Amino acid sequence: MVNKLIKEDIKMFLTGNEVLAYAANSAEAEFMYGYPITPQNEIMHTWCKLLPKTEAGFLQTEDEISAGFSTIGGILAGKRAFTATAGPGNVIMQDAQSMAEMMRIPFVCAVMQRGGPSTATVIYAQQETRLTCYGGNGEGFRIVYSTAGHQDLYDYMIKAFNTAWKYKFPTYVLADGYQGKMREPVMLYDPASRGITMVPTEKALLADGEIGVDRKSIHMRNTYNMEEELMEVLDSYQVDYDKMAEEVAEWEEYKADDAEILVIAHGIVARSARTAIDELREKGIKAGLYRPITIRPLAVKPLREAVSRAKHILFTESANGQLAQMVLEKIYGLTTPYSTLFKMGVGVTGDDIVQKVENIVKEGV
Amino acid sequence: MAELLNLPPNLPKSQNAEVGASKFCPGCGHGITLKSLGNAIDELGIKQKTVFGCDIGCSLLSWNYMDLDTVQTHHGRTTPVIYGVTRANPEAIGIAYMGDGGGLAIGAQHLVNASIRGERMLIIVVNNTNYGMTGGQMSPTTMPGQKTETTPYGRDCSVTGEPAKGAEMVAAIVNKSKSFVARSTVSNPMKLKQTFVKALKNVENGGFSFVEVLSICPLNWRTNNVDTFARLQQMEEYFEVKEFLTPESV
Amino acid sequence: MARTKIVLAGEGGQGVQSIAKILVEAGYEANKEVLYIPNFGVEQRGGVSIAFCQIADERIGEPRYSKGDIVIMLSDRAIDRCETYVDKNSTVVYDTSVCTKKPTCECKEIIGIDANKIANEQLSARVFNIIILGVLLEATHVLELSDIKNAMELALGKKFDAKPELRELNYKALEMGMSLVAQKAGV
């Protein structure tokens, strides 16, 4: 067991990376495995600085491949373990993430997106959206929370551990360099004070009881001999995934009820959209926001309803439509026209969205 | 005679009796290696706290071979999974089991860093001088002149470099007083078992152990019994069989 | 004003991020909504250093904005880099004793100050950035002097306690910065 540092509500002025380290501690995370990459470094810096008080564990590995696989090892040993990465680190960590997907390991990872492809920038992007949802040689049996600021980081990091351990799908907090590096106020709390109980961990390896007496030895595999054997396993995963999706999928709407122009955005860009929507409403333009919080799985029904109500859709992302692709598939059949405002690896400001929407209106919705 | 044939096989207690016939190719060295390992685990009485991780490649066929809590990983990634376990569970004895490709090529960075950090685990690299499961390609340890699917005219060291010597490399970078490093061979199963006993004792004492096992692959070598062991003997001359580092405590 | 957007830019080593931290800390302690993004690149040192700060009365939406209300440029490179954050509503402040040119962007007002010269000649080169902090305080009018002093105690209190004359020096620098803007505004 670890010592929890946040015992009562406390408002703090922190960077997002610091918030994530505190959140992991509040979630009773016991071990972090990590490798340096900007812009997520301060998660492990903070985690390490707090170790004497938390009595948790940490290993700095030789690369993200190792960070991912050793996190899996820690989880199999029954610890609430996690890791964090970004950009090219997220790319090579897919190796471990696909193993977690196949073996239903409650893998928890914070992804602080940076520019891509390749090394690109260390600053900011939303270009790891597709990778985090669907990376690896598989089907994307993953749960991805896209956060929009520090309170989200705290709330959803805690939630990610419970989602992962309850449903046994790899679970991600998808944020970005802005959220990691920026400072803003945040309310930290003991999850228990909000009625949140942490889902107990289980030891997959060296569980209680004696082999041959109380239990058999455990043999975990990820290799199958027959195609049908694999499909049977994956079909059962899909059933579990669909069932989970109904309970886990989250979204947020802002002035979307009567919106004629519906902005669809996730993460920090959704926050810029809020600023823009307030400004547009003042100008008499009925704009609203639909923000998927879980971008995998998407909440399909409310999404289709919101899109049906609007006269025009605006997809905006700090990427070239990675979320839009996922959304378009889910709203197939609806005929609401759409426009796009994609800035690859660059922040989308409120002004950008206001201008774009005004142009849409000018051209006639 | 018939009664003799009906005798149950003399398996180590830490070997899984339920698994039935081995899935390894006839004549493969993995069976001897795993049985020796099982006997060593039995002798030390550590079955209940041992975690066995197997790599991809022929090693993956050991995924249910042992009566030990076992996890199959990805190619080259058994080392980090196992030190992930032992870092989180200080009671556990971790064994990472892999081939020469998994240990010295795709997983080399993990081997190097686990060695340097002195991870509390045993890494076993079964060296049969080729990638067996994928059809017999050249591996880091393929012998000079050896024919494989990717060196059909024999390994030309002027192009490929010399065969990798895993045990020597590990011995050079580990903490000398806390590490057990040895190269052993399937030609002497009793010695092999004793090597594993020492290696595991060292892990129990909190140290890092590395054992490279010279092994045989008659299928991909396309050798008969006589030639197989003649080849193994050549390997034993090329790759020195000995204990490179033995802490006083074992 | 409900929200003030500040862009602070200078050379690495001019202390841009330090004063941005003090500024937002002061806002936070004064119960304002604040948001600060340090600009960070692959270089740990060197290069143009930019801080994006917001101080508001209500919850802040966008973390990055297109145009600043106050854009402070402390070097030629900072001018080149930051004219993009300026529009007709922006107040631009630049240091005439560091920059060899004047910002040419269209804006509400351009204020030239010689903080670097004053720091070197009258106070100490080390408090150059504190003069700028004073400039910011006076130019924005969203925080009180006492808020900034409190935040300075949080950031520098230990140093001040060890060397009390440092506290005086920094206060003087703050006031000097404030008066620089007040003078200009009076002209």
Residue B236 sits in a domain whose CATH number is 3.40.50.970
By C-alpha distance, which of A285, A256, A266 is closest to A361? A285
The phi-psi region of residue A33 (left if phi > 0; otherwise alpha if psi is between -120 and 50; otherwise beta) is beta
The residues with which B53 forms a beta bridge, in sequence order, are B71, B96
Query: The domain C3-186 is classified under which CATH number: 3.30.70.120, 3.90.600.10, 3.40.920.10, 3.40.50.720?
Result: 3.40.920.10
Radius of gyration of chain A (CA): 21
The answer to whether position B212 is within a domain reads: yes
Measured between alpha carbons, how far is B133 from B23 in angstroms, rounded to an integer? 12
Query: Do the Cβ atoms of B89 and A206 come within 8 Å?
Result: yes
- Within 8 A by CB and 6+ apart from A120, the residues are A87, A114, A345
The residues with which A290 forms a beta bridge, in sequence order, are A253, A264
The answer to whether position B17 is within a domain reads: no
Chain A contact for C61 (CB, 8 A cutoff): yes
- Mean pLDDT of the region C99-110: 94
Q: What is the dihedral of CA B221, B227, B229, B233, to 10 degrees?
A: -90
The answer to whether position B116 is within a domain reads: yes
Q: Name the neighbours of B, counting chains with at least 3 Cβ pairs within 8 A.
A: A
By C-alpha distance, which of B79, B88, B90, B145 is closest to B114? B79
By C-alpha distance, which of C97, C70, C98, C71 is closest to C83? C71
CATH architecture of residue range(s) A10-194: 3-Layer(aba) Sandwich (3.40)
For C45, the token pair is 């040192």
Task: Sketch the domain layout of chain C as residue ranges.
Answer: 3-186
Per-residue pLDDT of chain A (365 residues; tens, 9 = 90+): 899 999 999 999 999 999 999 999 999 999 999 999 999 999 999 999 999 999 999 999 999 999 999 999 999 999 999 999 999 999 999 999 999 999 999 999 999 999 999 999 999 999 999 999 999 999 999 999 999 999 999 999 999 999 999 999 999 999 999 999 999 999 999 999 999 999 999 999 999 999 999 999 999 999 999 999 999 999 999 999 999 999 999 999 999 999 999 999 999 999 999 999 999 999 999 999 999 999 999 999 999 999 999 999 999 999 999 999 999 999 999 999 999 999 999 999 999 999 999 999 999 86
Number of domains composing chain B? 1
Query: Do the Cβ atoms of C64 and A122 come within 8 Å?
Result: no
Query: Do the Cβ atoms of B85 and A74 come within 8 Å?
Result: yes
| DSSP labels, A74-130 | HHHTT--EEEEE-HHHHHHHHHHHHHHHHTT---EEEEEE---SSS--SS--STTHH
Sheet strands (E) in A245-337:
251-254, 261-264, 287-292, 294-296, 312-317
Chain A to chain B Cβ contacts (< 8 Å): 128
CATH architecture of residue range(s) A252-363: 3-Layer(aba) Sandwich (3.40)
Which residues in B have their CB inside 8 Å of a CB on A? 13, 16, 47-49, 51, 56, 60, 63-64, 66-74, 77, 79-89, 91-92, 109-110, 112-113
The answer to whether position B11 is within a domain reads: no
> Is residue B142 within 8 Å of B55, Cβ to Cβ?
no
Measured between alpha carbons, how far is A103 from A233 in angstroms, rounded to an integer? 10
User: Residues in chain B with pLDDT < 70?
Assistant: 1-4
> Is residue B195 within 8 Å of B184, Cβ to Cβ?
yes
Task: Sketch the domain layout of chain A as residue ranges.
Answer: 10-194, 252-363
Assess: ipTM above 0.85. yes
- Residue-number span of the structural domain to which B76 is assigned: 22-245
Q: What's the pLDDT tens digit per position in A313-345? A: 999 999 999 999 999 999 999 999 999 999 999
The residues with which A144 forms a beta bridge, in sequence order, are A172, A296
Place of tokens 């993990």: B110
Separation in Å, CA of A76 to nearest CA in chain B: 7
With CA atoms as reference, the chain C residue closest to A119 would be: C42
Residues of chain A in contact with residue C88, where contact means CB-CB under 8 angstroms, are none
pLDDT score recorded for residue C45: 61
Measured between alpha carbons, how far is B40 from A363 in angstroms, rounded to an integer? 79
How many C-beta neighbours within 10 Å does residue A234 have? 15
Query: Do the Cβ atoms of B110 and A223 come within 8 Å?
Result: no
Q: What's the pLDDT tens digit per position in A101-120? A: 999 999 999 999 999 999 99
Q: For strands C33-38 and C48-56, give the pairing.
A: antiparallel
| Residue B189: exposure state from Cβ atoms within 10 A (0-12, 13-18, ≥19) | middle
Q: What's the pLDDT tens digit per position in B44-57? A: 999 999 999 999 99
With CA atoms as reference, the chain C residue closest to A277 would be: C61
Query: Do the Cβ atoms of C63 and A352 come within 8 Å?
Result: no
Crossing angle for the helix pair A64-76 and B108-117, to the nearest 10 degrees: 70
For B126, the token pair is 């079964």
